[in-house]
Structure formats: C-alpha cells, structure tokens
Amino acid sequence: AYLASEEISSRYNEPLILGHRLSLPATQQKFGSNKTLEKEFLEKSNHTFRFTSGGAGYAMNKKYFKTFYESLDAYFCMSNKEDLTQPEDVALNFCMANLGIFPHDTRDELQRERFHLFPPKKVYNVRGNAHRWWFVQFHEDIGGVKGGQDCCSTSSISFHGLKAAGELHKLDHILYSCRT
C-alpha cells in the first residue's frame, strides 16, 4: 500500500530512493581514495551523510535508476578500482548525494520505520538509549530509534535477517490477525 500511495506515486518524475535511512556520524565518514572529493562533499553537505541501508533493502523509481546509471562514470561516483571496496549502499548514496539527491524519509506519520535492518524480535527490543551501539549512533540526527510497540509501522515493507520459513507469515498474523 505504501509504495502505491499518493506520497510516493506523485513523485514519479523525480529521482526517488526508499529504504531505511541512516546518518553516518562525522567521525566515520570516509569515502574512497579521492580525499579532495571527500573534503568537498563534506563541506557542501555540512558533514552530514544520509544513506539507505542495503540490509533492509531499498526501492528506487525509474528516474532514480536512470540518473544513477547515467552518472556511474562520473568522478564523484567512486568508479575507480581503489574505491570498489566501498559498501554498495554507501557508494550508491554518495554518488547520488553529489547530485543533490537524498533518500526519502520512509517512516510513517508516527515516525515508525517501514524498512527494518533487523528481524522483528531485535527491532522490537532495541533501546534508543544504547549510545555506544552503531545502530543508535547512526540515527542520532534523524529522529532516533524507537523500540517496543513504536518500533514498526503497520505498513512495514521489509525485515532483514529473517531465517525460518514462514517467519514473515507468522509476523503478519501477529500484527494483523490477533486483536486484544
């Protein structure tokens, strides 16, 4: 329902990527071998880098994919051999951020996530005050982390790390079929 919503479908003519947004802390911002490019990017972005995590999955519209594809050879898309070790989610978003294109906030109206980096049990039990954990640090300037009953949107799209067959169906039953 969310992917077909007016919020998303009305933006078909602009590059759009959806997923679980993270904000890389300034102390961990390293973007390949071109230190001049890295310095320029950090200055123009006010030392802020937001990206969609590959682990939770992401969805991009046709305009986003076309723009990315056409930019692959650009110097700011880390296309040289030394930079091929960058994680794909960081590299993709770094490339697009240099074009002024940033991930869309996919949280619902109650600020609950739709794309999840962990299985349901871990997402539910997350504590937003665990400041040493990278997951909490990567959310500090984008609204923090919610756990418990506020962890997950009723229109959640993905959970990373589901292992057992039927786990998603079980979750669907718990969320939508059980009533108190």
Query: Which own/partner pairs from 130-138 qualify as long-range (CB within 8 Å, at least 24 positions apart)?
Result: 137/25, 138/22, 138/23, 138/24, 138/25
Per-residue confidence (pLDDT) for residue 179, from 0 to 100: 59
The whole-model pTM stands at 0.85
Taking only the tens place, the pLDDT of each residue in 163-172 is: 777 777 777 7
Per-residue confidence (pLDDT) for residue 19, from 0 to 100: 95
- Across-strand partners of 19? 58
Per-residue confidence (pLDDT) for residue 27, from 0 to 100: 64
Owner of token pair 């609950």: 112
Taking only the tens place, the pLDDT of each residue in 43-72 is: 777 777 888 998 889 999 999 999 999 999
Number of helices (H), then strands (E), in the chain: 7, 6
**Count of other CB atoms within 10 angstroms of residue 157:** 20
- Whole-number CA gyration radius for the chain: 17
- The identity of residue 17, as a single letter, is I
